């Protein structure tokens, strides 16, 4: 075996392993690893690939349910959506690469998650993205926003997969560490799912897709496993470069070999490239793999085994096929002008053996590399400053004198303004399945030839999570589920991307553990298990970490898509009703931060039973076709939610709202109490709405009427406090985002 | 009516187009770009997408595909050829229609619903519309800013070959309604014999009531009627 570089503890430390991990690697091999083997260990045991800090806690998540076909552990999760079909989906982070090189970082994030879904056999049907940027005024923000949005569009648009929704938020905690979480959902027949297994001794291992280059070495895997220092710019060469055209061909070729049943298993080469794809496929099947690295198509001559195993070049797949199918597989890939090269074979010895020109260059046991990967129960403790955050003395916060001004300031603020500037750079209509386009509470996709629809919503309020991570975790689940239920769809399961700071700091680990507990509780109560996801730690630059941001993407199903409920008001004369109750809560609200500059207090309380009842009510209101619209009340509270029901291009309707409340007026208008939805209903259906609300134990209060004034009038306890021309509001609401990016 | 929908590597509206034709009652099948046999198609559709990744100029490589020689022969003999979005760009590159596409004046990808006005109804694709109708229809392109020299533009106008123009909601032709900056607000043009049509907006994406968009449906109905398959 070649010893191109002598490995010592020092080499291992430089590769990111600890001394303990290095010793463990030595004991698994029964000798000191050579340089190539060390590289593979370091990559596979990086935080990004091994989940070593989170694994122990992730066990708390509910993962089972009657609709779950495939839970966590595969490339993506799978749920049964009825009619013999499944939805395959996952969300994944690409935070650090996107900060270093926003266009390519975001683009390859989209490319990676698309591969995760189509490697399972499903044609991708929808992309969503959850984005977090620093303060609007920060010098880097416009550059990062423009690059990330263009990158997401550049990749998804070319692939012909619609980007149908997501979120964009600004907060100063992301100034030095933005978040780019990319989600893809695909659909296929329940009998068409493919798994990433290298089964069948003697079967051939085929490398397919783009050539391997030196890009992305120490990329996603290692870049995502350390906090940023000031040298972020120098890391640019570690970001991969995407080629959506190659991926589009790869998608078609992969689906073709799957549909023709030419292959046994398939896995995309994402983070950790050839290393993780080969080891994971062998590990899952309990087999071994031999690979001849000199047969791997490369972009440049002279690549070493180390470089070949660690490259994160994009648009590549590893395929296992029976020997007599190899030529047929190659034919399909050649039809699409893609490489498909036999590089090795499945063996029965459980070893990954790598050869270079017939010389053995690495030999590692496959299963132990993942199964015996280190697991850390890192210490965690509640930060000393946490209690002081809860202090909020409302008596010291002045009630605004002019609510019209406050309302206008809020609706045209960075976090509440229209995201059209972003969404209009995405192709949201390709595929001709997008029923609710970006801007709705949840995206809604039809499935051609079938009656059902799929609703998708991503959500996380990181301010809530910062103030109380456990409650914040619950809130992310219930709000994403409520958004799905507003369309009439039943929330089925979710995927998550847990974005946190450095887990080696006990206070960050505490945030993580608390958020996981909260997510688990809420998910169990709503019967919505997690089926896939990822953890992104080390979201820090220097010493400052991000606010904890556990992004949840909830997926639901509506049986009859023709009964889906939109969020906008539709007709003059319709009655506006509030489902749920406004409580004396203002902590962690957008209003407090934006108007008073305060981020404090406790987030709104969660009542999981009432929340579940509300969702069931919404689903049945849709089924019985009682209501004309439903919109979740979230950031900015009731006044902003009602305005959002009126913001259409052009504005056609107005609303006359009369509230009776003993609460402070700013709480009544802008408080963010949970479990509330604004619905509109025609007068002759009002009784049916009331009856059904009673049946589900949900408060239902008539608060106004839709009219054609194109004005939002809100009267509180007989005093008119907001009167806003919605055509004017539309202008400031829709133009704000362009201002943020300096256009 | 049989539509042959060409699949270039990178085409991504091929399936949508087949679905739309079929939903209108027509027959549609795929034609692989390496083929040369048009298999008896009555109408060839070049669908949207990013043929060959559009890494050179949009449509610049696709025109050299084996199938394009057959498509050009077909058009020369009076066959119906319909290019949508990237397909329009391929028609321009292959010389079946005059002009060229530049990057949108906004310098950004444009993915949203816009309005176009039906200027001429004497084509096999538009005779089921009323002249002057305003259609709400999606666009999705980075290079849709139509350009042609003055003589060509004059000729297109004189021969009434501008079939669709970008407009405002009420049909007004203005710069405001012309988001990509096309000369003369051109969204679609036809050949001299009016049988080759290219347009940037996507009628196949506006052909289903469930999507809240059906203003493009009459294009497929026009084609069916042209072939005498609908009363």
Kindly state the DSSP code that residue A390 receives in the 8-state scheme: H
Helix (H) or strand (E) holding A258: helix A244-259
Q: What is the pLDDT of residues A241-281, one digit of tens each?
A: 889 999 999 999 999 999 999 999 999 987 778 998 999 89
Q: Is the domain defined by B2-226 classed in CATH 3.50.50.60?
A: no
Question: Phi, psi at residue A92, to the nearest 5°?
Answer: -145, 150
For B168-210, the DSSP string reads -TTS---STT-TT--GGGEEEEE-TTS-EEEESS-GGGS-BGG
Q: What is the mean pLDDT of residues B71-90?
A: 97
Q: What is the pLDDT of residues A600-612, one digit of tens each?
A: 999 999 999 999 9
pLDDT over threshold 50, residue A391? yes
Burial class for B131, CB neighbours closer than 10 Å (0-12, 13-18, 19+): exposed
Contacts of B53 in chain A (CB under 8 A): 158, 243-246
Contacts of B213 in chain A (CB under 8 A): 429
| Spatial CA neighbour of A34 closest among A383, A356, A379 | A356
Name which of A150, A426, A561 is nearest B111 (Cβ-Cβ): A426
DSSP-derived pairing of the beta strands B110-118 and B162-167: antiparallel
- Token output for A444: 């809604």
Domain boundaries, given as residue ranges, for chain B = 2-226
CA distance B177 to B162: 16
Please give the pLDDT value at position A1: 47
Burial class for A59, CB neighbours closer than 10 Å (0-12, 13-18, 19+): exposed
> Catalytic pick from A94, A292, A615, A631?
A94
Residue A497, CA distances (Å) to A90, A195, A466 in order: 9, 22, 16
For A4-58, the DSSP string reads SS---HHHHHHTT--HHHHHHHHHHHTS---HHHHHHHHHHTSHHHH-TTTHHHH
Mutate to test the interface with A, among B7, B9, B56 (most CBs of A within 10 A): B9
Burial class for B174, CB neighbours closer than 10 Å (0-12, 13-18, 19+): exposed
pTM recorded for the entire structure? 0.96
Residue A481, CA distances (Å) to A162, A229, A293, A688, A732 in order: 22, 37, 47, 24, 30
B229 among known catalytic residues: no
Contacts of A650 in chain B (CB under 8 A): 169
CA distance A246 to A336: 9
Query: Within 10 A of A379 (CB to CB), how many other CB atoms are there?
Result: 10
* CB environment A270-307: b (16+ within 10 A), e (fewer): bbbbbbbbbbbbbbbbebbbbbbbbebbbeeeebbbbb
Beta carbons within 8 Å of A410's beta carbon, 6+ residues apart: A416, A590, A591, A594, A595, A636, A639, A640, A670
Q: Higher-confidence residue: A219 or A459? A: A459
**CB distance A18 to A341 below 8 Å:** no
For A427, which residue in chain B has the nearest alpha carbon? B111
Distance from CA of B110 to the nearest CA of A (A): 6
Please give the pLDDT value at position A61: 97
For A648-673, the DSSP string reads -SS---EEEEEE--SS-HHHHHH---
HSE, side-chain direction, 13 A CA sphere, residue A387: 3
CA distance A113 to A122: 12
Q: What is the mean pLDDT of residues A298-309?
A: 92
Q: What is the pLDDT of residues A510-538, one digit of tens each?
A: 999 999 999 999 999 999 999 999 999 99
How many pairs of residues across A and B have Cβ atoms under 8 Å apart?
90
Distance from CA of A581 to the nearest CA of B (A): 33
Distance from CA of B50 to the nearest CA of A (A): 6
pLDDT over threshold 90, residue B174? yes
- Token output for A200: 């069948």
Beta carbons within 8 Å of A417's beta carbon, 6+ residues apart: A411, A732, A733, A734, A736, A737
Contacts of A426 in chain B (CB under 8 A): 109, 111
Kindly report which listed range (A135-149, A233-247, A365-379, B45-59) carries the lowest average pLDDT score: A233-247
Beta carbons within 8 Å of B152's beta carbon, 6+ residues apart: B98, B99
For A154, which residue in chain B has the nearest alpha carbon? B109
Which residues of A fall below an 8 Å CB-CB distance to B?
Answer: 150, 153-154, 157-160, 243-246, 248-249, 335-337, 420, 423-432, 434-435, 446, 448, 561-562, 650
Name which of A245, A425, A434 is nearest B50 (Cβ-Cβ): A245
- Token output for A530: 């997690």
Confidence of residue A225 (pLDDT cuts 50, 70, 90): low
Q: What is the ipTM of this complex?
A: 0.96
Mutate to test the interface with B, among A148, A427, A566, A648 (most CBs of B within 10 A): A427
Contacts of A449 in chain B (CB under 8 A): none
- B12/A430 Cβ within 8 A: yes
Please give the pLDDT value at position B28: 98
A94 among known catalytic residues: yes
> Catalytic pick from B3, B85, B167, B190?
B85
Please give the pLDDT value at position A73: 87
Contacts of B207 in chain A (CB under 8 A): 432
- B16/A427 Cβ within 8 A: no
Distance from CA of A205 to the nearest CA of B (A): 26
């Amino acid at each position: 075996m070649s010893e191109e570089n002598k490995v010592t503890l020092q080499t291992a430390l430089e590769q990111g392993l600890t001394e303990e991990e290095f010793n463990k690697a030595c004991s698994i091999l029964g000798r000191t690893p050579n340089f190539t083997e060390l590289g593979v260990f370091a990559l596979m045991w990086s935080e990004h690939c091994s989940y070593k800090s989170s694994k122990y806690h992730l066990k708390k998540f509910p993962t089972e349910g009657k609709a779950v076909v495939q839970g966590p552990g595969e490339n993506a999760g799978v749920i049964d959506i009825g009619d013999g079909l499944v939805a395959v989906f996952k969300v994944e982070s690409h935070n650090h690469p996107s900060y270093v090189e926003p266009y390519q970082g975001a683009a390859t994030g989209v490319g990676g998650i698309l591969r995760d879904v189509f490697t399972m056999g499903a044609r991708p049907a929808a992309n969503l993205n959850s984005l977090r940027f620093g303060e609007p005024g920060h010098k880097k923000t416009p550059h990062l926003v423009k690059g990330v949005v263009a990158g997401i569009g550049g990749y998804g648009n070319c692939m012909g997969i619609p980007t149908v929704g997501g979120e964009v938020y600004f907060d100063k905690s992301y100034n030095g560490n933005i978040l780019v979480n990319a989600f893809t959902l695909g659909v296929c027949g329940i009998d068409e799912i493919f798994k990433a297994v290298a089964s069948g001794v003697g079967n051939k291992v085929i490398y397919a897709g783009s050539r391997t280059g030196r890009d992305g070495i120490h990329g996603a895997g290692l870049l995502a496993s350390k906090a940023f220092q000031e040298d972020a710019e120098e890391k640019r060469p570690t970001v991969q470069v995407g080629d959506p055209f190659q991926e589009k061909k790869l998608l078609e070729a992969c689906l073709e070999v799957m549909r023709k049943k030419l292959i046994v298993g398939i896995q995309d080469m994402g983070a950790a490239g050839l290393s993780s794809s080969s080891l994971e496929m062998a590990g899952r099947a309990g087999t071994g793999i031999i690979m001849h690295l000199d047969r791997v198509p490369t972009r440049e001559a002279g690549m070493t085994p180390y470089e070949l195993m660690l490259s994160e070049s994009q648009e590549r797949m590893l395929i296992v096929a029976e020997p007599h199918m190899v030529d047929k597989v190659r034919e399909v890939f050649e039809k699409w002008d893609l490489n498909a090269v036999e590089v090795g074979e499945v063996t029965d010895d459980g070893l990954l053996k790598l050869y270079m020109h017939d010389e053995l260059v690495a030999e590692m046991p496959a299963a132990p590399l993942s199964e015996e990967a280190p697991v850390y129960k890192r210490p965690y403790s509640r930060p000393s400053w946490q209690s002081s955050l809860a202090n909020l003395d409302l008596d010291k916060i002045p009630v605004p004198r002019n609510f019209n001004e406050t309302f206008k300031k809020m609706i045209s603020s960075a976090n509440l303004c229209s995201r059209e500037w972003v969404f209009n750079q995405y192709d949201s209509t390709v595929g001709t399945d997008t029923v609710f386009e970006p801007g709705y509470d949840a995206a809604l996709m039809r499935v051609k030839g079938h009656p059902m629809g799929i609703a998708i919503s991503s959500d996380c309020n990181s301010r809530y999570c910062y103030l109380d991570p456990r409650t914040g975790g619950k809130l992310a689940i219930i709000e994403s589920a409520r958004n799905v239920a507003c369309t009439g769809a039943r929330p089925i399961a979710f995927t998550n991307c847990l974005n946190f700071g450095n887990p080696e700091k006990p206070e960050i680990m505490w945030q993580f553990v608390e958020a996981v507990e909260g997510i688990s509780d809420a998910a169990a109560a709503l019967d919505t298990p997690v089926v896939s996801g990822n953890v992104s730690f080390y979201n820090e630059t220097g010493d400052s970490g991000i606010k904890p941001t556990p992004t949840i993407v909830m997926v639901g199903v509506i049986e009859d898509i023709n009964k889906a409920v939109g969020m906008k008001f539709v007709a003059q004369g319709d009655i506006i009703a509030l489902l749920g109750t406004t409580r004396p809560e203002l902590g962690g609200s957008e209003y407090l931060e934006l108007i008073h500059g305060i981020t404090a207090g406790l987030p709104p309380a969660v009542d999981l039973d009432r929340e579940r009842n509300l969702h069931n009510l919404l689903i049945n209101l849709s089924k019985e076709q009682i209501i004309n619209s439903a919109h979740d009340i979230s950031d900015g509270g009731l006044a902003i939610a009602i305005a959002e029901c009126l913001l259409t291009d052009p504005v056609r309707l107005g609303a006359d709202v009369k509230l009776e409340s003993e609460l402070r007026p700013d709480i009544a208008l802008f408080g963010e109490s949970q479990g509330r939805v604004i619905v509109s209903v025609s007068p002759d259906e009002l009784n049916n709405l009331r009856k059904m609300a009673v049946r589900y134990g949900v408060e239902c209060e008539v608060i106004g009427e839709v009219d054609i004034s194109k004005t939002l009038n809100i009267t509180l306890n007989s005093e008119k406090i907001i009167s806003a021309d919605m055509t004017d509001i539309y202008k400031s609401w829709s133009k704000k985002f362009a201002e943020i990016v300096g256009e | 009516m049989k539509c042959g929908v060409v699949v270039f590597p990178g085409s991504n509206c091929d399936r949508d187009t087949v679905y739309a034709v079929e939903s209108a009652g027509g027959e549609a099948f795929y034609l692989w770009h390496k083929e040369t046999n048009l298999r008896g198609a009555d109408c060839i559709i070049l669908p949207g997408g990013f043929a060959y990744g559009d890494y050179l100029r949009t449509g610049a490589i696709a025109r050299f595909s084996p199938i394009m020689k057959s498509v050009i022969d077909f058009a020369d003999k009076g066959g119906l050829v319909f290019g949508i979005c990237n397909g329009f760009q391929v028609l321009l590159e292959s010389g079946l229609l005059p002009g060229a596409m530049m990057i949108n004046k906004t310098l950004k990808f444009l993915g949203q619903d816009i309005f176009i006005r039906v200027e001429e109804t004497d084509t096999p694709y538009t005779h089921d519309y009323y002249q002057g109708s305003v259609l709400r229809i999606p666009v999705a392109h980075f290079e849709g800013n139509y350009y042609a020299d003055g003589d060509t533009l004059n000729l297109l106008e004189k021969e009434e070959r501008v079939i669709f123009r970008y407009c405002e909601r009420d049909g007004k032709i203005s710069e405001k309604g012309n988001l990509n900056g096309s000369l003369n607000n051109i969204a679609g043009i036809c050949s001299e014999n009016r049988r080759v049509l290219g347009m940037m907006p996507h009628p196949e994406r506006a052909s289903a009531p469930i999507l809240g968009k059906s203003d493009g449906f009459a294009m497929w109905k026009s084609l069916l009627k042209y072939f005498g398959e609908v009363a």
